[in-house]
Amino acid sequence: MQQLSTRHLLGIKGLTESDIQLVFETADNFKEVLNRPIKKVPSLRDITIANVFFENSTRTKLSFELAEKRLSADVVNFASGSSSVKKGETLIDTVNNILAMKVDMVVMRHSSPGAPHFLSRHIRANIINAGDGTHEHPTQALLDAFSIRERLGDVAGKKVAIIGDILHSRVALSNIFCLQKLGAEVMVCGPLTLMPRHVAALGVKVEHDVFKALQWCDVANVLRIQMERQQIKYFPSLREYSLYYGINRRLLNRLNKEIVIMHPGPINRGVELNSDVADSENAIILQQVENGVAVRMAVLYLLASVK
């Protein structure tokens, strides 16, 4: 059996193109399993996985938990709000206590960039990064690219515009790395105040006019405004942001082609996306959610076989 070149999934930057293609091929098989009447396989029957989330999460946490249970793994859920972290316990002590209970794999979300990398140097279990601050969110990028491949046949040669709050988004960075490794062209679009200063150094096109970005792309991956990460005001109001960067049916009708609309969720309807776009034939948002389970099953299964 083919194996991943790494024993942790800390970010897309650490994966090769072959690793990504292996995840996709494995996810294809698991997607077929998910469409059966009995949606469970015994692949990880002897594996215990801890979901250690130091930040709020609905979609990612549910998706990982469902993926783990579909693979027959034993699952332990940890939420920092009701843990000894509130009493001053350190990250390493928390995780070591979990590992002392003989856990094989840790899925971790943390508000500090680099937290999963730090942990991987100090513990023996496989680590999966479920989002570290504004740094990376590798499984989201993998499921986004998998969804593009499913809808358009291939990622190579496609033009993908990432639109919205690029500055605070971990999804944007992981998507840029993943799409470039697979041969896609990437553009980032948003207000100047929500654009990282040296983003062009990543080899992406930079645009501030949303209509020009939509006219250029085959796929628009629309990001929400991350108000919870913003310490200062980056634009006058949500109404003004929506006026200049919100995507609605009227805007899409002005294009001379059909494009694919994506969103990692949660959607702020009426801000970055109107309902007439989010619920349209152009959107593959619910397919992304469905593919998320298959892709995470693939990642868990492949990492469990790497010692």
Distance CA 210, CA 41 (A): 44
As annotated, the binding site includes 59-60, 87, 109, 137, 140, 170, 224, 265-266
| Residue 96 Cα to chain centre, angstroms | 26
For the sheet with 205-207, list strands across it: 205-207, 185-189, 159-163, 219-222, 260-262
The token duo for 158 is: 């496609």
Distance CA 73, CA 68 (A): 5
The token duo for 189 is: 């679009």
Q: Which stretches does DSSP call E strand in 122-255? A: 126-132, 159-163, 185-189, 205-207, 219-222
Considering only CA atoms, which of 14, 38, 9 is closest in space to residue 298? 9
As annotated, the binding site for L-aspartate includes 87, 170, 224
In sequence order, what are the beta bridge partners of 205? Answer: 187
Q: How many CB atoms lie within 10 A of CB 166?
A: 22
As annotated, the binding site for carbamoyl phosphate includes 59-60, 109, 137, 140, 265-266
